[in-house]
Amino acid sequence: MNKIDVCLSPDLMHLYPVTDKIVVVADILRATSCMTAGIAHGVAGIRPFADLEKCRAMKHCGYFIAGERNGQKVDGFDLGNSPYDYKQQHLIGKNIAVTTTNGTLAIEKSKNAKMVVIGAFLNKQALADFLMEKNMDTLILCAGWKGKFNLEDTLFAGAMVEALQGRYHPSCDAPIAARTLYLEAKKDLSAYLSDSSHVQRLKRLNIEKDITYCLQENRLDCVPVLKDGEIVKLN
């Protein structure tokens, strides 16, 4: 039986050999939810950068540039980090370069994986179907917040473990703990997360509608995959 594991922070990635695994990167609020929404909406490709200036430089290569630091849009960038930014009509068929506080760093830290895919509650079932078809050991990487654990990414990891239950065997205690939390939270994810640090941070910035959007399960039937450094729709 294949194994499923959960890495609770990008700072722990050195503990997880991934060269023979699929890594699912999750930054539920909001980076990987934005990427999933954008790709589902018809954005041609999204190139992630951990480094802000490298991302900014992509403007000269014809990319729209998207970026956030501490939840707020980077000055001079075309887009912030709201899923609604990624669903604008004029972005269909276009390419975006993006940098975020945690999500794009988590993607960079996954670069040795056999395959990197982008996870969100939005595409949970599409992703689970894809993983079952691929039939490979899988690691869910939670982007967290500046190296620390966060609840929303861990709940998503637990949701994936639950979706793959019976088909995958947990590698250690993290997937068991994440699933237990998800089962407790799933009736009302939004209520369960109401006191969590990043929900509080985003509420202070008045972006409740992004939280509501990102916590919807199985709204999008799309698996974004990292190919030659760019996130594209799996075909």
Give the residue, chosen from 13, 18, 26, 31, that forms a contact with ligand 3SL under the rule CB under 6 A.
31
Give the residue, chosen from 9, 36, 102, 110, that forms a contact with ligand 3SL under the rule CB under 6 A.
102
What are phi and psi for residue 43, nearest 5 degrees? -60, 135
Sign of CA dihedral 235, 86, 148, 112: positive
9/168 with CB nearer ligand 3SL: 9
Residue type at 12?
L
Least distance to ligand 3SL, CB of residue 231, Å = 14
Give the residue, chosen from 9, 36, 100, 110, that forms a contact with ligand 3SL under the rule CB under 6 A.
100
Tokens read off for 85: 């930014």
Tokens read off for 35: 């990427």
What are phi and psi for residue 18, nearest 5 degrees? -125, 5
Q: Which stretch binds ligand 3SL (CB under 6 A): 50-58, 59-67, 94-102, 121-129?
A: 94-102
81/138 with CB nearer ligand 3SL: 81
What are phi and psi for residue 108, nearest 5 degrees? -60, -40
Give the residue, chosen from 38, 67, 103, 170, that forms a contact with ligand 3SL under the rule CB under 6 A.
103
Tokens read off for 226: 């990292």
4/91 with CB nearer ligand 3SL: 91
Which of positions 138-177 make contact with ligand 3SL (CB under 6 A)?
143
4/35 with CB nearer ligand 3SL: 35
Residue type at 133?
E
> Strands of 2-7's sheet, edge to edge?
72-73, 64-69, 95-99, 45-48, 230-233, 224-227, 115-119, 22-26, 138-142, 2-7, 168-170
Least distance to ligand 3SL, CB of residue 166, Å = 32
197 touches 206 (CB < 8 A):
no
The reply on whether position 71 binds ligand 3SL by CB under 6 A is yes
Least distance to ligand 3SL, CB of residue 133, Å = 28
Residues that bind ligand 3SL (CB under 6 A): 27, 29-31, 68, 71, 81, 100-103, 143, 202
